Amino acid sequence: VCQQDSSTTARVLRNSGKTSSRGPAIKLPQGWWDHVNCWPHAAVGDVVSQPCPGFLHTTGQVFRNCTELGWTDPYPPHDIACEYGFNESLPLERYFLFVRIMYSVGYSVSLVFLITAVAILSLLRRLHCTRNFIHVQLFLSFIFRAVLIFIRDAVLFSNEDSFHCHIYTVSCKFATVLSNYCIMANYSWLLAEGYYLYKLVSASLFSQRKHLSWYIILGWGSPVIIMSGWSFAKYLHEDEGCWEMRRSEWIWWILRLPVLLFIIVNLLFFLCILKILVAKLRTQDMPGNEFNHYRKLAKSSFLLVSLFGLHYILFAFLPHKVRGRTYEIWNFIELAFASTQGFVVALLYCFLNGEVQNEIQRRWRRWKMKHRVQLEHRRKCSSMSQSGGGPTNITLLFKSASTPESGLV
């Protein structure tokens, strides 16, 4: 585990501040994770020290010897050197495990509801329209986001040695880029929702099919441009970790500014929509049913934009300024809300949609009626066969009645 050739050891000795029997201890870009510390590769005979975990607020150190058989047991033991009982799970480790389980459950629930919503809007032909097409694209952006979260976790946590010893692969960074792309797509498709509703309410002559390609460009194309600029900036100026670090604020403004613009423009759209709806209601220029339909749709979209906008403004700026217990609570709330956003979207735009509910009820009534007719037909057939008037007799009777000459023979 700890062996290295002498030339590699000599190169890395100058880059470490740890003490060893041959001078500074070794610091390589990979190592071995023992669930408490990351132990770098070392040459046989080296003595390497590691400090106690920072959250324990102690200055103790733990040592290991590198032998031909590998690392020795730590001395002094962790519970003595760090003044903590390591027989139990570390509090920070328990916290992150709990948070990971929590947001995994949230994304799983969202995934189930989103896939079901996409299936409903895609399979029921009466629900095929531009508005529901935009809904489906919004659902897909949340589905991709949830799937990429699971892929990113699989990449990060597939190897504890790599994760805890700060070894970050290209696949890890690529998963972060795609995850951020899906978040951008969430807000861009919300903007497409707002723009579509505004044009639908304000314009009397509005070609929905003509504008369909523009919605696709806005929803899926604009995040590509934004993420390309952000990725180049990260690669050139902040190529650290899995690209989740926020040391250079100006790089993160490449993501923040477009999202804030999406939110502000969407809010302006909905203010205009409310103004137009109120004006048309006063002039009685819109039927009551149509007005209620637009009002409910505007209410759902406005609620989503308000919730998501408030969530983004709060959690995009404040988390990096808080520490300790406050950060743990803040991080838990952020991940809980983010993981259930897809569930909220599917609920408002599909499962609580009156048009969708009416179509599902109509299909259900049709299926029940068809099933009842089939049962009654089977009962009649069985009763006729028992009474002797089976299918053969019915066929003969039909033939005799349809042949005029049969009565003259």
CATH number of the domain that residue 72 is part of: 4.10.1240.10
> Same domain, yes or no, for 303 and 232?
yes
Q: Is the pLDDT of residue 395 over 70?
A: no
Residue type, 335: L
Looking at the fold, whether 257 and 179 belong to one and the same domain comes out as yes
Q: Is the pLDDT of residue 268 over 50?
A: yes
Q: Give yes or no: residues 62 and 104 share one domain.
A: no
Burial 295-326 (b: 16+ CB within 10 A, else e): bebbebbbebbeebbeebeebbeeeeeeeeee
Threshold 0.75, pTM exceeds? no
Residue 197's Cβ-side half-sphere holds a number of Cα atoms within 13 Å equal to: 32
158 lies in the same domain as 288 = yes
Residues 6+ apart with CB under 8 A from 64: 2, 39, 47, 48, 50, 71, 72, 73, 74, 75
DSSP E strands, 6-53: 19-20, 23-24, 31-33, 38-40, 47-51
340 located within any domain: yes
Residue-level pLDDT at 247: 78
Q: Does residue 243 form part of some domain? A: yes
- pLDDT score recorded for residue 5: 38
d(CA 256, CA 262): 10
Q: How confident is the model at residue 8 (pLDDT cuts 50, 70, 90)?
A: very low
Mean pLDDT within 227-236: 93
Question: 7-16, 287-296, 333-342 — which is least confidently predicted?
Answer: 7-16
Q: Are residues 249 and 337 in the same domain?
A: yes
Residue 321 lies in a domain: yes
Q: What is the pLDDT of residue 204?
A: 54
Q: How far apart are CA 145 and CA 183, in angstroms?
A: 7
Are 223 and 279 within one domain? Answer: yes
Look at the block and give the residue holding tokens 């050739």: 5
Taking the C-alpha atoms of residue 306 and residue 157, their distance in angstroms, rounded to an integer, is 34
Structural domain contains residue 187: yes
Q: Does the pLDDT at position 109 exceed 50?
A: yes
Q: Is residue 32 located within the same domain as residue 135?
A: no
Domains held by the chain: number: 2
Instruction: Answer yes or no: do 241 and 155 share one domain.
Output: yes
Q: Is residue 216 part of a domain?
A: yes
pLDDT at 9: 35
- Average pLDDT, stretch 294-315? 70
Dump pLDDT digits (tens) for 276-299.
777 776 666 566 666 676 666 667
- Amino acid identity, position 366: R
Q: Where are the alpha helices (DSSP H) in 318-353?
A: 324-346
Structural domain contains residue 89: no
Where is the domain boundary, 84, 105, 129?
Answer: 84
The answer, yes or no, to whether residue 394 has pLDDT greater than 50, is no
CA distance 379 to 275: 60
Kindly state the percentage of the chain with pLDDT values over 70.
67
Higher per-residue pLDDT: 372 or 21 = 372
Residue 406's pLDDT is 36
Q: Are residues 250 and 185 both part of a single domain?
A: yes
Q: What are phi and psi of 159, to 5 degrees?
A: -135, 105
Within 44-128, where are the H helices?
Answer: 78-81, 91-123
Per-residue pLDDT, 7: 35
In this structure, are 202 and 241 located in the same domain? yes
Q: Flag whether 53 is in a domain.
A: yes
Q: What is the pLDDT of residue 294?
A: 67
**pLDDT-wise least confident of 95-99, 117-121, 305-309, 405-409:** 405-409
Q: What is the pLDDT of residue 66?
A: 84
Backbone angles phi, psi at 65, to 5 degrees: -100, 140
- Domain that includes residue 75, residue range: 28-84
Q: Which of 306, 334, 353 is the last residue of a domain?
A: 353
What is the C-alpha separation between 356 and 121, in angstroms, rounded? 8
pLDDT digits 0-9 by tens, 171-215: 788 888 998 999 899 889 988 888 888 887 776 545 555 578 888
Q: Beta-carbon neighbour count of residue 204 at 10 Å?
A: 5
Tokens 């809300």, located at residue: 337
Which tokens go with 301?
């979209």
Cis peptide before 29 (omega within 30 of 0): no
The residue from 353, 368, 401 where one domain ends is 353
* Structure-token pair, residue 280: 């048309």
pLDDT tens for each residue of 130-162? 888 888 999 999 999 999 888 888 776 665 555
Instruction: Tell me what percent of the residues of the chain surpass a pLDDT of 90.
Output: 15
CA dihedral of 281, 286, 291, 294, whole degrees rounded to 10: -110
Contact 147, 178 (CB under 8 A): no
Top pLDDT among 134 and 22 is at 134
Report the CATH number that the domain containing residue 339 is assigned in CATH: 1.20.1070.10
Residues 142 and 277 in one domain: yes
pLDDT for res 24:
38
71 occurs within a structural domain: yes
Question: Packing angle between helix 170-202 and helix 249-282, nearest 10 degrees?
Answer: 20
Based on the fold, state whether residues 53 and 193 are members of the same structural domain.
no
